[in-house]
């Protein structure tokens, strides 16, 4: 039986003191997405009927972020945090009439998977139990609520918070992780009966478990298959640990989908990155944002690609790219900087110490060495000589440069924008091009060479250079004399 869509309640009003941050805890990011974003991505997979998110601390930041993540999610303000039970109560009140299953998840557990949450919801629907609790066995359960099971039945009796637990109870490794599937009606009624008679003076959502057991309304537990999935993030050490688990999970997914990851330990991918089959990722590579790698592309070592698309069979080495498009079979790097709007067509090249922004490089065109290209269009199969610079900025405004097809820009050319170089034209090395070049012309825009003979021996007489020049002059003179006598 496929379960009815649940109503989801995310608890995200807590302060997250231990993060020691001006940013609310649930907005801290891993794999390019906020913790809240990860939790909502996991619950979104259940196609929930409705979603409420309890916000409190930092809600001026959390609420707008939530609106971006899910415009339909209902933010519920918990101005003072009187505990998880209080938070859940406010959420149910705000949601109004609710039936079926209410799934409660904490906003700071970014590793939860849709699969595990779906199991919980299905179990609740199939069994009709009042509560289905997710538990996990942790190597270090310090701080967590412990799951106390009956000595005879082995069934869950109640949850005792760490702060309220006896020494013996603290020895229990099975923990509650703030994930539950409740019968909506049962939960609404139970939440009105919570007391604050505990170590923290809070309404504990966990107390609903013992209530359901005592009422005989059915109480079941699902043990998480992998405890890593339930890890909560309370400080930045746990944030990094969760980030590593998430990264391993994402990489494993891509490897199973046909991507070669040479060194998973030094490869980091964001949750929204996508790859096609037979991609190879070399070590020390960060793929961030919405970066996409097409079939047979090879990226790295040492690349950082942000919101960049890499075409089929392209090769990108030692490159920093943001908002760039790298065409099929293009060649980029090493030491290349591609900025937003850099658009390399099929089989184009951007080589060492080249920076490109807001420019198109046509099919087969090359910018091989030491260049800056900004606000330019470069036509197909043109070659931009080493150390060419597009002078796009007059100090106030940016201007456009157009280079046609099959152009040969000589090394160290300055293209002073706005300027146009026609198809098939050449520029002489070292030229400062300030006027348009017609198709097929050779533009020379540089000082004529003048040699001042003997200058070094006259003006720098006691230097090794003068000595070398004198010897060279003597050798030339003796060769000339030999030539005159007809010898050799
Ligand atoms: C809670 C559980 C504990 C569990 C642990 C880890 C209770 C009483 N205890 O303890 O059994 O092992 O989480 O999952 O529920 N929150 C609110 N409003 C509040 C209080 C909390 O929205 O008034 C939110 C927090 O933002 C957080 C979640 O609820 O996302 C859990 O709160 P937290 O303070 O971390 O509870 P713990 O003491 O860790
Ligand atoms: Mg906590």
Q: State whether the beta carbon of 14 lies less than 6 angstroms from ligand 1.
A: yes
Taking the CA of residue 78 as reference, the ligand 1 atom at the shortest distance is 18
- Per annotation, catalytic residue among 65, 162, 227, 369: 369
Comparing CA positions, the residue from 49, 46, 47, 43 lying closest to residue 100 is 49
Cβ density class 86-99: b for 16+ within 10 Å, e for less: bbbbbbbeebeebe
Mean pLDDT confidence for 451-459 = 97
Q: What is the pLDDT of residues 353-406, one digit of tens each?
A: 999 999 999 999 999 999 999 999 999 999 999 999 999 999 999 999 999 999
The per-residue pLDDT for 3 is 67
Q: Is the pLDDT of residue 1 over 50?
A: no
Q: Is the pLDDT of residue 222 over 50?
A: yes
Mean pLDDT computed over every residue of the chain: 96
Q: How far apart are CA 346 and CA 362, in angstroms?
A: 7
The per-residue pLDDT for 152 is 87
Annotation says 217 is catalytic? no
Distances (CA, A) of 484 to 265, 478, 488: 74, 10, 11
The per-residue pLDDT for 85 is 98
Take atom 36 of ligand 1 and give the residue whose Cα is closest.
84
Q: Which ligand is nearest the CA of 85, by number?
A: 1
Q: Is the peptide bond before 379 cis (omega within 30 degrees of 0)?
A: no
Comparing CA positions, the residue from 186, 175, 239, 233 lying closest to residue 211 is 186
Q: Tell me the backbone φ, ψ of residue 158, rounded to 5 degrees.
A: -165, 170
Q: State whether the beta carbon of 161 lies less than 6 angstroms from ligand 1.
A: yes
Q: What is the pLDDT of residues 299-341, one digit of tens each?
A: 999 999 999 999 999 999 999 999 999 999 999 999 999 999 9
Mean pLDDT confidence for 156-164 = 96
The per-residue pLDDT for 4 is 84
Whether this prediction's pTM lies above 0.85 is answered by yes
The per-residue pLDDT for 487 is 55
For ligand 1, the distance from its centroid to the CA atom of residue 10, given in whole angstroms, is: 11
Q: How far apart are CA 121 and CA 125, in angstroms?
A: 6
Take atom 37 of ligand 1 and give the residue whose Cα is closest.
144
Is 34 in contact with 75 (CB distance < 8 Å)? no
Token readout for 326 is 């790298």
Q: What is the pLDDT of residues 365-380, one digit of tens each?
A: 999 999 999 999 999 9
Q: State whether the beta carbon of 58 lies less than 6 angstroms from ligand 1.
A: no
Mutate which of 9, 140, 178, 201 for ligand 1? The one with the most ligand atoms within 8 Å of its CB, which is 178
Alpha carbon dihedral 475, 480, 486, 488, in 10-degree steps, equals 30
Residues sharing a CB contact under 8 Å with residue 366, sequence separation 6 or more, in sequence order: 348, 349, 351, 382, 383, 384
The per-residue pLDDT for 154 is 87
Mutate which of 21, 40, 56, 106 for ligand 1? The one with the most ligand atoms within 8 Å of its CB, which is 106
Q: State whether the beta carbon of 271 lies less than 6 angstroms from ligand 1.
A: no
Percent of the chain exceeding pLDDT 70 equals: 99
Q: Is the pLDDT of residue 60 over 50?
A: yes
The per-residue pLDDT for 286 is 98
Mean pLDDT confidence for 233-240 = 96
The per-residue pLDDT for 92 is 98
Q: Give the H/E segment covering residue 176.
A: strand 174-183
Q: Give the H/E segment covering residue 380.
A: none
Residues sharing a CB contact under 8 Å with residue 363, sequence separation 6 or more, in sequence order: 327, 345, 346, 347, 348, 380, 381
The per-residue pLDDT for 485 is 73
Taking the CA of residue 54 as reference, the ligand 1 atom at the shortest distance is 22
Mean pLDDT confidence for 157-165 = 96
Is 117 in contact with 46 (CB distance < 8 Å)? yes
Q: Is the pLDDT of residue 189 over 70?
A: yes
- Report the DSSP beta bridge partners of residue 33: 30
Comparing CA positions, the residue from 366, 349, 271, 283 lying closest to residue 318 is 283
Q: State whether the beta carbon of 159 lies less than 6 angstroms from ligand 1.
A: yes
For ligand 1, the distance from its centroid to the CA atom of residue 236, given in whole angstroms, is: 17
Take atom 14 of ligand 1 and give the residue whose Cα is closest.
177
Mean pLDDT confidence for 115-125 = 97
Take atom 25 of ligand 1 and give the residue whose Cα is closest.
14
The DSSP call for residue 346 is: T
For ligand 1, the distance from its centroid to the CA atom of residue 178, given in whole angstroms, is: 7
Q: How far apart are CA 311 and CA 313, in angstroms?
A: 6
Q: Is the pLDDT of residue 486 over 70?
A: no
Confidence of residue 2 (pLDDT cuts 50, 70, 90): low
Q: State whether the beta carbon of 310 lies less than 6 angstroms from ligand 1.
A: no
- Report the range of poorest mean pLDDT among 42-46, 114-118, 152-156: 152-156
Comparing CA positions, the residue from 270, 166, 179, 275 lying closest to residue 221 is 179
Q: Which ligand is nearest the CA of 179, by number?
A: 1
Distances (CA, A) of 358 to 45, 194, 401: 37, 60, 11
- Report the range of poorest mean pLDDT among 227-231, 408-412, 417-421: 227-231
Token readout for 334 is 């090493």
For ligand 2, the distance from its centroid to the CA atom of residue 33, given in whole angstroms, is: 20
């Amino acid at each position: 039986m496929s379960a009815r869509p649940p109503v989801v309640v995310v608890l995200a009003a807590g302060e997250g003191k231990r993060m020691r941050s001006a940013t609310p805890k649930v907005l801290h990011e891993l794999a390019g997405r906020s913790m809240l974003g990860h939790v909502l991505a996991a619950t979104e997979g259940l196609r929930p009927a409705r979603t409420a998110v309890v916000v409190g601390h930092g809600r001026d930041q959390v609420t707008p972020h939530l609106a971006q993540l899910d415009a339909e999610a209902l933010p519920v303000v918990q101005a003072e945090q009187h505990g998880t039970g209080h938070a859940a109560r406010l959420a149910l009140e705000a949601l109004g009439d609710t039936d079926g299953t209410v799934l409660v998840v904490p906003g700071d557990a970014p590793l939860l998977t849709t699969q595990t949450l779906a199991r919980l919801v299905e179990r609740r629907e199939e069994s009709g139990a009042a509560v289905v609790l997710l538990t996990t066995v942790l190597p270090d359960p310090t701080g967590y609520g412990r799951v106390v099971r009956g000595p005879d039945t082995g069934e869950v009796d109640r949850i005792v918070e760490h702060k309220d637990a006896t020494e013996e109870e603290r020895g229990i490794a099975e923990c509650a992780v703030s994930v539950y599937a409740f019968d909506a009606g049962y939960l609404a009624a139970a939440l009105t009966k919570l007391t604050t008679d505990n170590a923290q003076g809070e309404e504990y959502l966990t107390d609903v478990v013992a209530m359901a057991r005592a009422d005989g309304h059915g109480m079941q537990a699902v043990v998480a298959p992998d405890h890593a999935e339930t890890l909560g993030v309370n400080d930045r050490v746990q944030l990094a640990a969760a980030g590593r688990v998430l990264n391993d999970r994402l990489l494993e997914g891509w490897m199973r989908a046909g991507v070669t990851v040479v060194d998973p330990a030094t490869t980091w991918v964001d949750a929204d990155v996508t790859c096609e089959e037979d991609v190879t990722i070399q070590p020390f590579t960060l793929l961030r944002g919405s970066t996409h790698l097409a079939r047979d592309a090879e990226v790295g070592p040492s690349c950082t690609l942000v919101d960049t698309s890499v075409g089929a069979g392209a090769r990108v080495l030692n490159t920093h790219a943001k908002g760039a498009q790298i065409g099929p079979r293009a060649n980029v790097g090493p030491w290349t900087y591609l900025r937003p709007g850099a658009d390399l067509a099929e089989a184009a090249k951007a080589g060492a110490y080249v920076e490109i922004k807001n420019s198109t490089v046509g099919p087969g065109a090359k910018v091989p060495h030491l260049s800056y290209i900004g606000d330019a269009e470069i036509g197909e199969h043109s070659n931009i000589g080493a150390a060419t610079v597009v002078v796009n900025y007059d100090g106030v405004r940016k201007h456009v440069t157009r280079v046609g097809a099959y152009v040969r820009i000589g090394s160290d050319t300055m293209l002073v924008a706005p300027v146009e170089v026609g198809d098939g034209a050449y520029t002489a090395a070292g030229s400062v091009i300030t006027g348009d070049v017609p198709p097929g012309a050779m533009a020379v825009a540089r000082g004529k060479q003048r040699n001042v003979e003997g200058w070094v021996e006259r003006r720098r007489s006691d230097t090794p250079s003068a000595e070398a020049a004198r010897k060279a002059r003597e050798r030339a003179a003796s060769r000339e004399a030999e030539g005159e006598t007809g010898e050799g």
